[in-house]
A = this chain, B = another copy of it.
Amino acid sequence: MTTSNKSERVPSDKVNSRVERSRHTVLTTAFELLSEGGVASFTVDEVARRSGVAKTTIYRHWPTREALVMDACSRMIAEQETPDTGSLEGDVTAILVEIAHLLPTANWSFVLPSIVDTAERNPEFAEIHSRIQRGHAAPLREVLQRAVGRGELSVDADVSTIVAALLGPLFYRRWFSREPIDDQFVKAIIKRVLASL
């Protein structure tokens, strides 16, 4: 044994892999279930049924239903990669077109309203939601900051406002007006917002 003495208390990889296999299976199933029915209809029993992992085992890893739900929600915190086309308009277009494509299809777009709703009354979910949101806005904030650095954007520019002006209309169409989001719409929004800088 090269990395541990005989009083090793940290589990070796092999031992861990069994635990991790369970954890991973459960989390994957949990997220899948979340995508389908949202936070409200999420049940531990159903996760157990689908995943094949015994309910007792699930409760050995997560102390409560809430903990599992939050863990599954955290899977949505995935920062996108930031493009670098050289121009602000190019970057913004790349980002928004990507999001516009994800909005009608990606799993997280079905779960998000549920998280927003839960976050409205639950501080812990509000924190998770906040992290997800920052993940969505991060690439946009970055390309805007870069534009400021290049002098393409005024130093006084209110980045938060611009982000809201760009993302807001897309989100609005996805969850509120429920209209389709085609490239023409995306470009119209970008044109309007960037023209006024």
Q: Which residues of B contact A189 (CB under 8 A)?
A: 161, 164-165
Q: How far is the CB of A169 from chain B (nearest CB, A)?
A: 4
Q: Which residues of B contact A117 (CB under 8 A)?
A: 38, 40, 113-114, 116-117
| Interface of A, helix, strand, loop or mixed by DSSP | helix
Q: How far is the CB of A62 from chain B (nearest CB, A)?
A: 20
Query: Please, how many angstroms separate the alpha-carbon atoms of A164 and B192 in the complex?
Result: 12
Q: Which residues of B contact A173 (CB under 8 A)?
A: 164, 168
The answer to whether A172 and B175 have CB atoms under 8 Å apart is: no
A interface residues, tally (CB under 8 Å): 43
A193 at the binding interface (Cβ < 8 Å): yes
The answer to whether B126 and A188 have CB atoms under 8 Å apart is: no
Known contacts A38-B121, A130-B178, A168-B169: does B158 contact A188 (CB below 8 Å)? yes
Q: How far is the CB of A1 from chain B (nearest CB, A)?
A: 50
Q: Which residues of B contact A167 (CB under 8 A)?
A: 168, 172, 176
8 extra interface residue pairs, beta carbon distance < 8 Å, beyond A117-B117, A167-B168: A114-B120, A116-B116, A116-B176, A130-B178, A160-B179, A161-B185, A164-B179, A171-B171
Binding site for B on A (CB under 8 A): 36-40, 110, 113-114, 116-117, 120-121, 126, 129-130, 133, 137, 158, 160-161, 163-165, 167-173, 175-179, 185, 188-189, 191-193, 195-196
